[in-house]
Structure 1
Amino acid sequence: MTSTVPPPSDPSYDIEFFWDPICPFSWITSRWVATVAAQRDFQVDWRFISLRLINKDKDYAAEFPPGYDEGHTAGLRVLRVAAAIRDELGRDALGPFVAAFGHSYWDAPQGSVDAATLAKPDHLETVLETAGLPIRFADSLDDDAWDAQIDAEGELALGRTGRDVGTPLITFRPPDGLSFFGPVISRVPSDEEALELWDAVTTLAAFPGFAEMKRSMRERPQLNLLGGVSAAPVQEDWQGGHRRGHLVGDH
């Protein structure tokens, strides 16, 4: 029987990373965290937060741009697969899955894959093969019995940060360390830059009473699927977790 309760925090992990696979900023920040983890030898517990479930009471047609409902639903379907993997194989099996899925989607050429494709069984079977996992886990795409657990895990994260946030969310030194939204970054840093950013972020996170540093203007995520890296990236105003307009850019 599928549990509706997410697993408790495991203090043997250095951070918990709450991830939605459809969020480009989750992907970029996850690559930053993975880069630092490889250099600093710390452990990441990859956890779940579904944009579709935390927005389940919202009117997508009225409150989000076109395509967000489809995209968020696709992200939830992929998280069902991740939940099935974790339930059977344990938390450490998720790192390869997070990486394989992200590379299959965000590193694909622009226009080559969309939300409807990414949550199809054949796409997930390829991802699972790349991650060294059984392709039978793709059967969980349509298994909504996982949704209660995924929803509860997202609520766990939001209970730590407050609700006026997006993805990703990170908890330092779980379960009792501080939790924050972000950092939201638009490009994957180099190895050296990753360590510099990590040290800056963890310094802020350790400061008593620190809550927020924010701007809604962002570069368009510098990912192949979204057009690749640009010398003059488009600047967009993100409010409420989605774009409000394209303001400055190269096209």
Structure 2
Amino acid sequence: MTNSPQQQAISGEPGTGPVPAPHEVERIPVDFWFDPVCPWSWLTSRWLLEVVKVRPVEPRWRVMSLAILQANGRLPREYRAMLSEARGPARVCVAVAAEHGDRAVPALYTALGRRFHEQGLPQTREVVEDALHEAGLPAGPAEALHSRTYDAALEASHKAAVDLAGDDIGTPVLGFGGLREGGGGRRAGFFGPVVNPVPRGEEAARLWDGVALLAATPGFYELKRSRP
């Protein structure tokens, strides 16, 4: 018997081909934790948007922070200062989620990512306000750039990623819920996948199938090779 499209997407069954139209298939929610200043998060997020075109996947955009992940008094002072500054854009994303809802986050992330990772612009208030404008949002959340108002919310969102994937990780984190193929409805989360360049089209779909299959395998923890 052939698995349903939902089961195929989770199990990574090869040869699934194009998925039916979105209204015909229940889309699979996948949590994606990112830090807006992390270049690897950016590349993985662009891959995930490619996956949405060819698999019934519904990303839920969450925020985590390299500054929290790498908080360590033994790090050089200059590096700790850089990480402290890097917390700002994550705070802004959390502020947008709190004030305008989770659905407003992906457009802002795309606008910030274009500026930080494609145009090489600095993480200044002017750049952040411009990104907010592009995302159709007011400039108010830019206040969070240098404010601790949303730190508790950021730390809670970050903790959810660490609770799922462990603390020996980086950004991004991909979270799967209700895995059915051998997983007994369990939750699973992993760092990555780390990709460069971004897979497109069917190549993106094949990578998704492989990642989903690994996530549905009880006892699987890590598959890694050195980055160039």
- Give the alignment's TM-score, normalised by structure 2: 0.79
CA RMSD of aligned residues (A): 2.0
Matched, 1:76 2:98: no
Distance 1:79 1:198, change over 3 A: same
Secondary structure of the corresponding residue to residue 145 of structure 1: coil
Aligned residue pairs total 196
Determine the structure 1 residue equivalent to 2:142. 138
Matched, 1:185 2:189: no
User: Which stretch of structure 1 is more off in the superposition, 190-199 or 175-184?
Assistant: 175-184
Structure 1 residue 103, shift from structure 2 partner:
0.9
Matched, 1:148 2:162: no
Question: 1:142-172: CA deviations, max 9, x gaps?
Answer: 1212112211221221111121111111111
Residue identity matched to 1:89: H
Secondary structure of the corresponding residue to residue 16 of structure 1: strand
Residue 206 (structure 1) aligned to one of 216, 220, 225: 216
Secondary structure of the corresponding residue to residue 202 of structure 1: helix
Residue identity matched to 1:170: L
Matched, 1:166 2:170: yes
Secondary structure of the corresponding residue to residue 150 of structure 2: helix
**Which stretches of structure 1, 4 residues or longer, exceed 6 Å deviation after superposition?**
none
For the 8 Å contact 2:69–2:170, the answer to whether it is kept is no
Determine the structure 2 residue equivalent to 1:58. 73
Residue identity matched to 1:137: P
Question: 1:29-68: CA deviations, max 9, x gaps?
Answer: 0110111123334321111111111222332208xxx6x4
Question: 1:191-249: CA deviations, max 9, x gaps?
Answer: 2211111111111111121111012x21xxxxxxxxxxxxxxxx2xxxxxxxxxxxxxx
Determine the structure 2 residue equivalent to 1:95. 106
Residue 197 (structure 1) aligned to one of 192, 203, 207: 207
Distance, in Å, in 2 between the alignment partners of 1:199 and 1:71 is: 37
Structure 1 residue 72, shift from structure 2 partner:
2.6
Distance, in Å, in 2 between the alignment partners of 1:13 and 1:137 is: 30
Distance 1:196 1:107, change over 3 A: same
Structure 1 residue 183, shift from structure 2 partner:
0.7
Residue identity matched to 1:98: Y
For the 8 Å contact 1:80–1:146, the answer to whether it is kept is yes
Distance 1:38 1:72, change over 3 A: farther
Distance, in Å, in 2 between the alignment partners of 1:176 and 1:153 is: 20
For the 8 Å contact 2:71–2:80, the answer to whether it is kept is no
Distance 1:176 1:82, change over 3 A: farther
Determine the structure 2 residue equivalent to 1:8. none
Matched, 1:29 2:49: no
Residue identity matched to 2:125: P
Identity of aligned residues (%): 35
Matched, 1:126 2:130: yes
Question: 1:108-164: CA deviations, max 9, x gaps?
Answer: 1xxx53xxx22x111001111111111222112112121122112212211111211
For the 8 Å contact 1:22–1:74, the answer to whether it is kept is no
